[in-house]
Structure 1
Amino acid sequence: MRRRSISTATALAVVFSSVALSVVTAGPAAAATIGSPAGIVVHSALKRVFIGDDATGSVIAADYNGNRVDSVRGIHGVFDLALSDDGATLYAAARGSHEIVALDAATLDIKARYPVAASIGPLYLEFTGQKVWFTYEDPSDGYSNLGSIDPAATPADGSETVALRQLPHPSPAISGGARIDSDPSAPGLLALGATDFDDTATDMMAIVDVSGSAPQLTAWHDGGYSLNYVNDIDLVPGAGEVLVDGTERHTYADGKFTAAGAYPAGQRADIAPNGLVAQVSGTNVAVYRPGAKTPVRTYAADTDALAWAPDSSRLFALVSAPGGYVLKTLTDPAKSVPTLTVNAPATATRAKKLTVTGKASATLPLPAGAELQVTRTDMESPGGKALPPVTVKPDGTYSFTDTPPAGGTVTYKVAYAGDTDHTPASATDGVTVSRAATTLTLNKHGNRYNYGTDVSFTAHLGTTYKNRTVEIWANPYGADKPNKLLKTAKTNSSGNISATVDMTRNTVVSAVFKGDAHYKPKTVTSTAYARVKVATAVSKHYKTAKIGSTSYSWFHKNTDPLLTTTMTYYSGRKQRFDLQVYYNGAWRSGGSEYFALGTNGKSAVALEAPGESGVRARMRSVYVKDSSGDNVNSTTYGVWKYLYFSK
């Protein structure tokens, strides 16, 4: 429908002596959000959606993308909105100030105010028959009723233009404000619906012809409605029907209503000029073709109010959001959304035929002979290669065969381009296609080297398809040193590639082949080990002389030797001090002890003098992998230092 207004606000009798209105121009584009929905109408020519916000007493203008573009404040108790037939004027029901405010639809400037002498209201609005029609409540007689305003009458302040008690029925029996609806396909016709809560919950529906000088009753129903409550009523374009609560259809003729079918259960609806029904059902919005049992399309949207664009091209929904509601544009409402499945085998052999199957389904079946586009993506065609299209069978299934030329992960994408009744859709599935194994070797595994030696590691790559590139990485021991790419290059004519490592730590060297369309990736490693630098200096001796062929540092029997070790430093590292004494013709252990290195890599140990002459001793400094406090180097033994104690 071209106009539809729904409000969830409760009608309260609040009297204000005056109401100030102000127009607020929106800043940069932002989503139109409101606190409490109070009517929504769509302007075709301006491409504007007008929303009432009872929480702020505002009317907000948004564009077709849902962005707020303008607003006017100060409409106290705004309850509903309506547009004039020519689109020039927007009418807002202000129940708090008991008036209907006429606004320029293009600028939101105030054009006129029409006071309404009702205890509660005005409430719901519609424009038809060149008049503004509204419902209200009057507790003095216990009923709700219908009123009208003739905007063409004078004076501009609205005095003497408001006509109350326009419902042409001797006993309205309506205690709540009636919902109201009109439709361009039936000018001068109003549909009213309400529920009487005074005694028992009974329902009222009416069709009123307001095209003449006085309203005429076309059809009336009071009580016994199967849903018990009338919370929404819509005129069905060109059908002589009403839709109640978005669910039950009733024809009207000969002064009465007759059940004419139903849509699946809903709460409320809005009907497009072309007859499509947008129904709020739980937290979804479902779109039905006239009289259908299955929706054309369903949107997941917890919606308070709906309004169709006048050309039926889209829906505008006030969707629940933190702090209130936000205006969302629901596009392609008349198009079914197909669901595609693709089932490729989990594994397959390269260059061997495989079969892919699937199914296309939709609330509206795809047209006979519908074709699906097929694309294969693999290592040979990373941008995708189009395969012959496949035709959907009458039951929605399809299948095709393919011979994958490349191994690895092969992805098949099946897509439907869409048509006048369906949106585009696509789905994918992948298959792991086998690849041959190549050989890759890396030398120097297990070798040990002195600290700082430059070592060349060579990788050899066997047969491949197209890719001859190998990466060589070096990952030194220790969390403080990252894995480092040393070289990326194609192998030489012999299949070799080399890179040099400065062996200051134990290092895991890796050669990486990333594979190609015919051969699998492969990685090999080689762990090489680096010794530490270690040296020991002897001091406090009085001479150096040989005993046999071995050079000794000579000490007086009461002098304590000082032995200073210098070793490659690493945080927390200790050196092991080994001591041996020559006795009965052999070197015998005098004990071992670990001493911490300073940050300069030095450790000085004073050896207590024996106090007697003729004693021979020797010592050495050792780095022991793990036992010295870390594992970043290979176990390294320093040279023995020989000591002799004389008189």
Structure 2
Amino acid sequence: MAAAVGLVATTSPAAARDTTTLIQGVTGVVDTAAAGGRVFVSANDRIVVADADGTLTGSITGLASPSGLAVTPDGTRVYAALSGSNEIAEIDAAALAVVRRINLAGYPSPANLSLDGDQLWVGYGIKNDFVGGVLGLDLSLAAPTPVPVATRMYGAPLVAGAGNTVFTAEAGINPASPRVYDVSTIPATLRGVIDGADNDLSNLTDLTITPDGAQAISVFATSGFDVWDTTTLTKVRSYGSRADYPGAPGAIALSPNGAHVATAFYGSSYGPYAEVYNAATGAKTLQAQMTYKGDLVTGSLSVLGDDLYALLNDWPNNRYYLWRVEGAFLPTSTLSVSATTAATALDPFTMTGRLAFPDDSAPGAQPIEIARTLPNGTTTTLPGVTTAQDGTFTVTDTPPVGGGVSYTAIWDGNSAVRWSKTTTTVDVAQHPTSLIVTGPTTANAKKSLRLTGQMSTAGNVPTPASGSIVVYRVYTNSNGSVGADRPLVPLAADGSFTITDTPQVGGKYTYHVRFDGDATYAYAYTSWDVAVRGPSA
């Protein structure tokens, strides 16, 4: 049974969770790169910089159409492919300033980058012209000379290089056949081609390579996330199943230690998804969805610590967002909340919940944030709760209205366990009401008749501060019955009301009295009969 720790004030937990940050002042975004506690975003004419929380902190301007990005592992240097000026820009990340420009005259529209130590691999080319290819730059040289690796490719190919291996493939050609090059010598040697037709490889969106160059991973919409041995050119495995993906595969990135494979999907109309797999076993360890803020920008996924970052394009509103998936590589906690008593508007009721860690260890005292959302969409943050040693907690609330009221519990996680949340919807009944009418049971026609009434509520709950009583009068005599609505009768602050009428002829008068209820109070009904004598002389 859950420990009743009750509604106790707690310090608000630090902001965590998965977030989106609007990138203002740009008309397009292309890629991300992350290291050294910062995230870099290539936009239409600049590189935007954000901290690890996704907060925008600065930018590098005056750049001609930056596209692909690469960053050194320590985050001190950022490299940007400037497709508008046929250059590679080297940027001092601390000063946010360009410190070197490498001219790529003769290699049009550099677009995609892969950094391996001092070696920068560049995919260049103009779509449809078949003048694209891959070249290498030795960044340790004061004036690096481009060294061609692959030529006569469609557009600017995607490229990933590590060790003695370069893996490259062409987007826009279907099927596409990835190539593997041995770059231990100059010129590079084509190690082989993976047949795109035989392996159903169409609609390329991204690729990457392991740090030792032994395996490469391609991302095709038709086949998913496929791992290739770069020596034998055979498929080692696929991460996930194309039939089970939450959307179309769109991007991939590896965790710094190589233990995890992060993936991103275009998702459905409800928004993009991210999934994480154990690199060794292929087991899925996380699936996260972002409420719709736009479509995933192809190939824009990057990793910083345990967090993922990608770009979203809200094309109907011409807005762009940086999406952060917080703690994606951490073990995931779970939260549960359920009502333990019936819920009625204006009456307190209880819910119990539990925070559980993946290793079943006791969470100890942890702050839980609780938010209540009413049927009209209004959300209120309730006083926080703190878990007992075993992770259980109790929430008490007094819902102001009836209907489906949702309660969302959030734990913000820590450095070892990913945050979690849960939402439960409680069917809250309207608060019961009752009506009493008193007055004479006989009266004379054409004389004023006065009935008094009282609306009451169950428990120590006030009556509605405003409202009206509906009166429907039915007159019956030997010829039958005739009904008619009477004017609405206002409720006084104490729930009392007065009904006045002047019957014109004798007969039986039944006054049907009702309160039609509202979001908080339930329907109530009563009636009162009066025998009216004919007009007196």
> Residue 289 of structure 1 aligns to a residue in which SS?
strand
In structure 2, the residue matched to 1:332 is 327
> Residue 304 of structure 2 aligns to a residue in which SS?
coil
* Aligned mates of 1:471, 1:282 — CA distance in 2: 47
In structure 1, the residue matched to 2:180 is 206
1:252 aligns with 2:229: yes
Matched to 1:234, the amino acid is: T
* Aligned mates of 2:350, 2:217 — CA distance in 1: 50
In structure 1, the residue matched to 2:11 is none
In structure 1, the residue matched to 2:69 is 81
In structure 1, the residue matched to 2:499 is 527
* Aligned mates of 1:474, 1:429 — CA distance in 2: 26
**Conservation of the 8 A alpha-carbon contact between 2:265 and 2:274:** yes
2:148 paired residue among 161, 165, 171: 165
**Conservation of the 8 A alpha-carbon contact between 1:221 and 1:257:** no
Cα distance, 1:368–1:409 mapped onto 2, change above 3 Å: farther
**Conservation of the 8 A alpha-carbon contact between 1:118 and 1:137:** no
2:262 paired residue among 254, 260, 277: 277
* Aligned mates of 1:385, 1:70 — CA distance in 2: 35
> Residue 256 of structure 1 aligns to a residue in which SS?
coil
* Aligned mates of 2:255, 2:149 — CA distance in 1: 28
1:234 aligns with 2:228: no
1:111 aligns with 2:63: no
Q: Any idea what the Cα deviations from partners look like across 1:7-56, whole Å, max 9, x if unmatched?
A: xxxxxxxxxxxxxxxxxxxxxx97346333332111324x2x22222xx3
1:298 paired residue among 263, 288, 299: 288
Q: State the shift of 1:296 in Å.
A: 1.4
TM (norm. structure 2) is 0.58
Q: Any idea what the Cα deviations from partners look like across 1:142-179, whole Å, max 9, x if unmatched?
A: 5643323333323xxx4xx2223135xxxx66334221
Q: State the shift of 1:226 in Å.
A: 1.6
Cα distance, 1:524–1:128 mapped onto 2, change above 3 Å: same
Cα distance, 1:320–1:337 mapped onto 2, change above 3 Å: farther
Matched to 1:175, the amino acid is: Y
Superposition RMSD in Å: 5.6
**Conservation of the 8 A alpha-carbon contact between 1:176 and 1:195:** yes
Matches within 5 A, 1:335-414: 336=332, 342=338, 367=360
In structure 2, the residue matched to 1:37 is 29
Identity of aligned residues (%): 15
Q: Any idea what the Cα deviations from partners look like across 1:252-287, whole Å, max 9, x if unmatched?
A: 254433342342332332222241312224342221
Matched to 2:328, the amino acid is: P
> Residue 332 of structure 1 aligns to a residue in which SS?
coil
Q: State the shift of 1:132 in Å.
A: 2.4
* Aligned mates of 2:420, 2:466 — CA distance in 1: 50
Gaps of 5+ in 2: 1-20, 243-248, 373-381, 444-450, 469-486, 503-537
1:194 aligns with 2:177: no
1:323 aligns with 2:318: yes
1:149 aligns with 2:149: no
> Residue 427 of structure 1 aligns to a residue in which SS?
strand
Cα distance, 1:510–1:267 mapped onto 2, change above 3 Å: closer
Cα distance, 1:365–1:446 mapped onto 2, change above 3 Å: farther
**Conservation of the 8 A alpha-carbon contact between 2:355 and 2:363:** no
In structure 2, the residue matched to 1:629 is none
Q: State the shift of 1:439 in Å.
A: 8.3
* Aligned mates of 2:427, 2:435 — CA distance in 1: 27
Matched to 1:226, the amino acid is: N
* Aligned mates of 2:263, 2:251 — CA distance in 1: 9
**Conservation of the 8 A alpha-carbon contact between 2:121 and 2:160:** no
* Aligned mates of 2:465, 2:228 — CA distance in 1: 81
Cα distance, 1:332–1:443 mapped onto 2, change above 3 Å: farther
Aligned pair count reads 412
In structure 2, the residue matched to 1:175 is 154
Matched to 2:41, the amino acid is: I
* Aligned mates of 2:386, 2:126 — CA distance in 1: 72
* Aligned mates of 2:120, 2:304 — CA distance in 1: 20
Gaps of 5+ in 1: 1-28, 349-353, 378-382, 393-397, 448-456, 476-505, 514-522, 531-647
* Aligned mates of 2:42, 2:166 — CA distance in 1: 22
In structure 2, the residue matched to 1:516 is none
Cα distance, 1:511–1:79 mapped onto 2, change above 3 Å: closer
TM (norm. structure 1) is 0.50
Q: State the shift of 1:289 in Å.
A: 1.9
In structure 2, the residue matched to 1:453 is none
* Aligned mates of 1:72, 1:387 — CA distance in 2: 44
* Aligned mates of 1:127, 1:137 — CA distance in 2: 19
Matches within 5 A, 1:396-545: 420=417, 423-430=420-427, 432=429, 510-511=491-492, 523-527=495-499
> Residue 124 of structure 1 aligns to a residue in which SS?
strand
